[in-house]
Amino acid sequence: MAFSTGDSGGPMAEINVTPLVDVMLVLLIIFMITAPLMSHKVQVDLPEANLDKRDSEAPPVPPISITVEDNGNLYWNDEPVTKDLLESRLSIEAQKTPQPEINVRGDKTTKYRIVSEVVQIAQAQGMRKVGFMALKEPR
């Protein structure tokens, strides 16, 4: 803050604009130097997006049901399969867009180890939506 040397004897009520002008000149010089660097030297014709002709949403994919019996038998939508065939079918389904959901149904007496193996196979093949099916308990 500057003090006046005049008759009033109190502080000056005016703002000293010299530092403000110095900062503004430095910013102006910085922008003048960096502005030519921001222009692109190579001209490319970019494609224009046409949002009027958007594809409608893909139809919903029906979920795939994998059934596991207590003796280890596997069923793909009620069709008997082996573990190798299950892996190959899951890898094919994992490449589709959108991916179908995988619903794993286990028998009441099936050990969780067997069901866990099926879930691990599905996840190893790249399936993202793996869930379990259960019956709703009666009230």
Nearest residue to 133 (alpha-carbon basis) of 101, 111, 109, 100: 101
In a domain, 110, yes or no: yes
Q: How many CB atoms lie within 10 A of CB 68?
A: 21
Strand-pairing partners, residue 74, are 68, 81
Q: The domain that contains 87 carries what CATH number?
A: 3.30.420.270
Which pLDDT score, from 0 to 100, does residue 45 have?
A: 80
- The stretches in the chain having pLDDT less than 70 are 1-10, 12, 40, 53-58, 139
Contact indicator for 64, 100 with CB cutoff of 8 Å: yes
Alpha helices (H) along 4-130: 18-34, 83-94, 112-124
Range of the domain at 78: 64-133
Count of the separate structural domains present in the chain: 1
pLDDT score, position 98: 87
Position 82 scores a pLDDT of: 94
In a domain, 21, yes or no: no
